[in-house]
Structure 1
Amino acid sequence: MKKKTKRWLITIGGILTLVVVGIVGAGLYFFQVAVVPSPKAFLSKDQKITKASTLYPAQQWYQSANKQHWYETATSDNLKLDAYYIPAVKHTKKTAVIAHGFMGNKDKMYQYAYMFHQLGYNVLLPDDRAHGESQGKYIGYGWLDKGDYVKWIKQVIAKNGNDSQIVMFGTSMGGATTMMVSGESNVPKQVKAYIEDCGYTSVYDEIKYEAQELYHLPEWPMVPVVSAISKVKAGYSFGQASALKQVKKNHKPMLFIHGSDDHFVPTKMVYPLYHATKGPKELLIVKGAAHAKAYETDPQLYTNTVREFLARYID
């Protein structure tokens, strides 16, 4: 009887060990997919811009724009960060700081740089850590980047003057980054407003959603396991990286934008974010727009909304 019990315990222990090893192995795989920069099969490929595209004027302008390299050091790991600065045609103290999306870079934000340039702003386009020409091993999803953007903002003020008027803008991961910055206590007073486009409520919520949508995986145990691996390797957990918690601490004006047909960061995420902020706010839902396609879908509505929103808070 004792031998049978021992064999049973060994068998159960072996099975549990295999299960744990399998879960950890899968967790490490999905950590690579989610947090380590590399080509991602689930991301749509860049489309070719033709003359008929609503993005064509922006692309043509960006190719010949006066782009100056700026550099910054990250708030941790001593990483070297890279950005383009594009001065306005006419001297101005107004600057837009633009945050890009997941596996994006400064060059992929050309349409928004064009929009702000047309509105008379200087434009700063940083590459997030582990993106573009910036150094880094792990994607920060805005959480690791929020302090970096505060440093970029301070560099704008140092170079352009204490009377600078700054708006921070971002799409997708950049939208979440913008909201995460809004909750920081050391944001300079020169930041007058925020505009976020299709940002997520938290990294946990977004990873959980994508695990279900892309891989048909339940939340438990994979998302908590990958989050724990991220905490050890990258220095943050998914639940910790919450735009919702950050925006609750914001008292400055914020414009929220989302496409009605967003199935990557679902449209429903924008509503708790909009209701959470404590400052003046506005919400634009662009009908028929997919993820990060609101500007492309209706550039006139998008630009007019941004112009009218900022006119109330920036001279």
Structure 2
Amino acid sequence: MKKIIITVVVILIFAIIAIYCKFILGLASQMANPKVSTLEKEMSWEKEHKLWGDYDDYEKEDYIVKGLNDYDLHVTLVKNPIPSDKYVIISHGFKSNRYGAVKYVDSYIDLGFNCIIYDMRDHGENAKATVSLGQFESEDLYKLIEDTYNRYGNIKLGLHGESMGAATSLMLLAKKPKVDFVVADCGFDNLYDLIHTSYSVAKVGFVLPSVNTAMKLRYGYDMKKTSPKDALVGNEVPVCFIHGEADTFILPENSQVNKAATEGYSELHLVPNAAHAQSREVLGKAEYRGIIGDFLNNIDFK
């Protein structure tokens, strides 16, 4: 009888361990291999929310850029109707794609920019890949910047990012890229801290160290190192932070922390009644464009 009890206990222990490991791997997979939106769904959402604007009327060019480890990134250049040497690369949010960046195109076109929108790794038309929410993506973005200068020559170049795209744009600044400004809309300050807050609300904060271990072993990155606030130390590129005051997913305090971390010129605009990634929708094209335009004037960007 004693041997039977011991055997049952051992089986139960191994079963609990197996269930826990499956649970942890499932949580890690939700971030590293998420179910992403299609181009069609993003287009439909943008149009339903009246954010598609005049996108269909602009001249466009599609091409592919080699990112980190020659990973193919699907890219669209949206040409300004008036020839211009000003360009902005717009990075979309988690589970979205380049059509999720269309909401910002009209504002930049009005300001005289050509817009480059693209599918971040594992999103849109790109092949399946590990999502790191900033680490690998910033390496891709660096390659895209290099390609942009090679294609278009002596230009002025800025970055705009939403959520994961904002974190990616800020992470890139640690590499001292040749960019004139960054607009970071609702970005987080540290991925590990962001997930800890989310898990704590769900009463499962205790599993985060295990999830991060799974990330390191299975997907090759440490969430603690996906840290825009650390990347901003010593940064002198001007940054305009925009964040919805009603954002409960990535709290506005994240942008406040990031603003405090950067050493160059920066602004922070908190948008009343805007939830996560809704500042453009709440403000409307003209007012959102006004924030960016005033920022560019303040940094004497011509």
- TM-score calculated relative to the size of structure 1: 0.86
- Of Structure 1 and Structure 2, which has the larger fraction of its residues in helix? 2
Is the counterpart of residue 211 in structure 1 residue 199 in structure 2? yes
Q: Indicate conservation of the 8 Å contact 1:105/1:132, yes or no.
A: yes
Shift of 1:10: 6.1
CA distance in 1: counterparts of 2:300 and 2:4, whole angstroms: 73
Shift of 1:218: 2.5
Q: Tell me the secondary structure at the aligned position of residue 161 of structure 2.
A: strand
Shift of 1:202: 1.6
Q: Indicate conservation of the 8 Å contact 1:182/1:249, yes or no.
A: no
Q: Tell me the secondary structure at the aligned position of residue 178 of structure 1.
A: helix
Task: Quote the residue 1:33 is aligned against.
Answer: 30
Shift of 1:135: 2.1
Taking only aligned residues, the RMSD between alpha carbons, in angstroms, comes to: 2.3
Shift of 1:103: 0.7
Letter in 2 for 1:195: V
Task: Quote the residue 1:147 is aligned against.
Answer: 139
CA distance in 2: counterparts of 1:232 and 1:309, whole angstroms: 42
State which of 230, 235, 238 in structure 1 corresponds to 2:220. Answer: 235
Task: Quote the residue 1:85 is aligned against.
Answer: 77
Is the counterpart of residue 138 in structure 1 residue 130 in structure 2? yes
Deviates more, 1:262-271 or 1:58-67: 58-67
Letter in 1 for 2:191: V
Task: Quote the residue 2:21 is aligned against.
Answer: 24
Task: Quote the residue 1:304 is aligned against.
Answer: 290
Q: Tell me the secondary structure at the aligned position of residue 134 of structure 2.
A: coil
Letter in 2 for 1:75: L
CA distance in 1: counterparts of 2:129 and 2:146, whole angstroms: 25
Give the 5 Å matches for 1:27-176: 27-39=24-36, 47=45, 49=47, 56=50, 58-76=51-69, 78-161=70-153, 163-176=154-167
CA distance in 2: counterparts of 1:260 and 1:94, whole angstroms: 31
Letter in 1 for 2:104: Y
Q: Tell me the secondary structure at the aligned position of residue 266 of structure 1.
A: coil
- TM-score calculated relative to the size of structure 2: 0.90
Residue deviations 1:235-257 (CA, integer Å, cap 9, x gap)? 21211211111122321110111
Is the counterpart of residue 181 in structure 1 residue 197 in structure 2? no
Shift of 1:12: 6.0
Q: Indicate conservation of the 8 Å contact 2:167/2:184, yes or no.
A: yes
Is the counterpart of residue 255 in structure 1 residue 260 in structure 2? no
CA distance in 2: counterparts of 1:20 and 1:276, whole angstroms: 41
Shift of 1:232: 2.2
Q: Indicate conservation of the 8 Å contact 1:169/1:178, yes or no.
A: yes
Q: Indicate conservation of the 8 Å contact 1:165/1:314, yes or no.
A: no
CA distance in 2: counterparts of 1:10 and 1:273, whole angstroms: 54
Q: Indicate conservation of the 8 Å contact 2:58/2:81, yes or no.
A: no
Letter in 2 for 1:275: A
Q: Indicate conservation of the 8 Å contact 1:198/1:267, yes or no.
A: yes
CA distance in 2: counterparts of 1:121 and 1:16, whole angstroms: 61
Q: What are the ranges of 5 or more consecutive residues in structure 2 without an aligned counterpart?
A: none
CA distance in 2: counterparts of 1:27 and 1:249, whole angstroms: 36
Q: Indicate conservation of the 8 Å contact 2:36/2:96, yes or no.
A: no
Q: What are the ranges of 5 or more consecutive residues in structure 1 without an aligned counterpart?
A: none
Give the 5 Å matches for 1:262-273: 262-273=247-258
Is the counterpart of residue 225 in structure 1 residue 213 in structure 2? no
Aligned length: 296
Shift of 1:270: 1.6
